Amino acid sequence: MGFRFRKTIRILPGVRLNLSKTGVSTSLGTNGATVNVSKRGVRGTVGIPGSGLSYSEMLTRQGAQPSPTSPAQPRSRKGRVKRWLLIILALWLGWTILSAFLGAMV
């Protein structure tokens, strides 16, 4: 069995700094939707809190070179789904952080 180390530090509501034996990463989000940025790339995770069900996907990878494509080529369905998931996640994350700050001010 290998040795593991992991420590999470809460910086702001919805923002965490993750320290591990292999490096440092930052997580943005709360239960249900999180974006993690590390040296390996960006990973998005969405799930149903409390159910144990989630879906996680690498959104970008470090060092990945975009393949040459013509600009006239239509977007794939997977690309459109990723774009909408990122938009929804960004809106939800912004709303969560804004409501946390406004709630703290009251």
pLDDT for 94: 79
pLDDT at res. 27: 93
pTM here is 0.54
Residue 25: both structure tokens together: 């990463």
| Tokens, residue 21 | 């034996």
DSSP letter string over 68-90?
Answer: P--TTSPPPHHHHHHHHHHHHHH
**Residue 74: per-residue pLDDT:** 61
Which sequence spans correspond to the domains of the chain? Answer: 6-61+76-105
- Measured distance between the N- and C-terminal CA atoms of the chain, rounded to whole angstroms: 49
Instruction: Say which DSSP state 37 is in.
Output: E
- CA–CA distances in Å: residue 56 to residues 1, 72, 90: 25, 30, 16
pLDDT in tens, the chain (106 residues): 688 899 999 998 889 999 999 899 999 998 888 999 999 889 999 988 888 888 999 988 765 555 555 555 566 777 777 887 887 888 888 778 777 777 776 6
